[in-house]
């Protein structure tokens, strides 16, 4: 699976993709993440990618031309399943969107800045708009990194224990159960006996009950 992320701040995306699971997924050849500097597609001398808003008001607006050029260049190289714009007014990212996108081949992700991007890019090129929550960040880079992380860990082979993604919160209707590791007794605080029992059926049963209880307490809406 391939991601092409278009941004005015490529440096912001270096670290998130250079560690841990995302790094390993790329090394294993399970995903390719390409970050494109929007300024490379600006024709003007100063490499400007934004301009004043028509109608006045505060904040700059990202121009059509550089995004259009970059998207058109990418599309001339290969087909894309979606052109995604990270935007606070898009559909809110959840596990089911991540699951769905993890089955795709090639995605373009656009990162906005300032006041946002010229509406014509959204009308003419964007096929899907995704928000990471009801709050406003200063740019689309962190949201893009969140989206890529959520999707890449679902690609078969990326997590070493494949079933671990399936037992995560939101994969079913239940949140994940509590987890413990050594020592079994830390300053008198003990790990539940059942987890040390070696009885897998009892452990599975306990985990299910805990997950149910946690979901009822924290997210009853998931059980409806």
Contact set with ligand SAH (CB under 6 A) = 86-89, 111-113, 115-117, 131-133, 135-137, 139-140, 143
Least gap, CB of 111 to ligand SAH (angstroms)? 5
**Is 42 or 111 the residue whose CB approaches ligand SAH more closely?**
111
Q: Which is nearer to ligand SAH, 51 or 162 (CB)?
A: 51
Residue with Cβ nearer ligand SAH (112 or 158): 112
Q: How far is CA 56 from CA 64, 113, 118, in A?
A: 18, 17, 14
Please state the separation of Cα 135 from the chain's center in Å. Answer: 16
Q: Cβ closer to ligand SAH: 132 or 211?
A: 132
> Phi/psi at 20 (nearest 5 deg)?
55, -135
State in angstroms the smallest separation of the CB of 40 from ligand SAH.
19
Taking the complex as a whole, the smallest distance from the CB of residue 16 to ligand SAH amounts, in Å, to 15
What does the alpha-carbon distance between residue 31 and residue 7 come to, in Å, rounded to a whole number? 19
Closest CB to ligand SAH among residues 16, 143: 143
By beta-carbon distance, which residue lies closest to ligand SAH?
Answer: 112
In the complex with ligand SAH, which residue's Cβ is closer, 66 or 116?
116
Q: Where are the alpha helices (DSSP H) in the chain?
A: 20-27, 64-77, 95-101, 119-124, 141-152, 163-166, 200-218
CB of 176 to ligand SAH, least distance (A): 24
Shortest spacing between CB 137 and ligand SAH, in angstroms: 4
Contact status, residue 177 vs residue 50, Cβ threshold 8 Å = no
Best CA proximity match to 145, nearest among 86, 96, 102: 86
Q: CA-based angle 153:159:160, to the nearest 5?
A: 175
Copy the structure tokens of residue 31.
């995903």
Strand, helix or coil for residue 189 = strand
User: In angstroms, what is the minimal distance from the CB of 135 to ligand SAH?
Assistant: 6
């Amino acid at each position: 699976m391939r991601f092409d992320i278009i941004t005015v701040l490529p440096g912001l995306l270096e670290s998130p993709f250079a560690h841990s699971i995302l790094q390993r997924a790329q090394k294993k050849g399970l995903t390719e993440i390409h970050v494109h500097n929007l300024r490379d597609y600006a024709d003007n001398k100063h490499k400007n990618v934004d301009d004043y808003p028509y109608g006045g008001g505060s904040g700059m607006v990202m121009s059509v031309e550089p995004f259009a050029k970059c998207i058109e260049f990418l599309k001339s190289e290969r087909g894309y399943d979606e052109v995604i714009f990270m935007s606070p007014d898009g559909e809110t990212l959840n596990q089911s969107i991540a699951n769905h996108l993890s089955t795709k081949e090639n995605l373009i992700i656009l990162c906005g800045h300032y006041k946002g991007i010229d509406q014509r890019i959204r009308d003419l090129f964007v096929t899907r708009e995704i928000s990471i929550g009801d709050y406003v960040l200063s740019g689309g880079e962190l949201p893009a990194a969140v989206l890529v992380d959520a999707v890449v860990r679902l690609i078969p082979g990326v997590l070493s224990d494949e079933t671990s993604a399936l037992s995560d919160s939101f994969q079913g209707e239940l949140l994940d159960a509590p987890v413990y590791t050594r020592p079994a007794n830390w300053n008198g605080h003990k790990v539940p006996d059942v987890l040390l029992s070696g009885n897998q059926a009892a452990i599975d049963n306990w985990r299910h009950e805990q997950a149910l209880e946690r979901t009822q307490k924290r997210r009853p809406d998931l059980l409806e």
